[in-house]
Amino acid sequence: MDWQTINLSLKLATATLIVLLPLAIGVGYGLAVTRWRAKPWIEGLLALPLVLPPTVIGFYLMIAMGGQSWLGQWYERLAGSTLAFSFNGLVVASVIFNIPFAVQPIQRAFEGIAPDIREAAQCCGLTFRQAFTRIELPLAWPGILSAAVMSFAHTLGEFGVVLMVGGNIPGETKTVAIAIYDRAQAFDLAAAGSMSLMLLAISLVTIAVSYGYVERLMRRRRA
Partner 1 sequence: MSIELELRHDGPVLDLTATLPAGEITALLGPSGSGKTSILRAIAGLLRLDHERVKVGGEIWSDSARNQHLPARLRQVGFVSQNYALFPHLTVLGNVETALLALPPNERRERARNCLDLAQIAGLDDRFPRELSGGQKQRVALARAIAREPRVLLLDEPFSAVDRTTRKQLYVELLCLHERIAATMVLVTHDLDEAAQLASHLCLVQDGRLLQAGPAREVLARPRSEAAARLLDMANFFDGNLEAADGPRAVLRWGPHVLRARHPGPVLGTARWSIAPGNVLLVRPDKPWSGHLENPVDATVAELIPLGSEALVWLTPEGLPDLRLQMRLPLRALTRFPLRPEQVVTVCLRGADLVIFADGVQLRRPASTDI
Rounded CA separation 140/147 (Å): 11
Distances (CA, A) of 105 to 7, 28, 50, 57, 144: 27, 8, 14, 22, 7
Q: Which is nearer to partner 1, 135 or 169 (CB)?
A: 135
> Rg for the chain (alpha carbons), in Å?
20
| Cα–Cα distance for residue pair 24/17, rounded to 1 Å | 10
Q: Cβ of residue 145: shortest distance to partner 1, in angstroms?
A: 14
Whose Cβ is closer to partner 1: residue 64's or residue 214's? Answer: 214
Q: How far is the CB of 215 from partner 1 (least distance, A)?
A: 16
Residue 42 near residue 31 (C-beta atoms within 8 A): yes
The smaller minimum CB distance to partner 1, of residues 58 and 143, is found at 143
Asked if 86 contacts 76 with a C-beta cutoff of 8 angstroms, the reply is no
Q: Which residues bind partner 1 (CB under 8 A)?
A: 114, 116-117, 119-127, 130, 134-135, 138-139, 220-223
- Closer by beta carbon to partner 1, 117 or else 205: 117
Q: How far is the CB of 112 from partner 1 (least distance, A)?
A: 11
| Torsion of the alpha carbons at 78, 80, 82 and 88, rounded to the nearest 10 | -70
Backbone φ and ψ of 113, nearest 5°:
-80, 125
Minimum Å gap between C-beta 132 and partner 1 is 13
Nearer to partner 1, 81 or 127 (CB): 127
In the complex, minimum distance from the CB of residue 150 to partner 1, in angstroms, rounded to a whole number? 23
Nearer to partner 1, 7 or 127 (CB): 127
Residues in the chain: 223
- The Cα–Cα gap between 197 and 194 comes to 5
CB of 108 to partner 1, least distance (A): 17
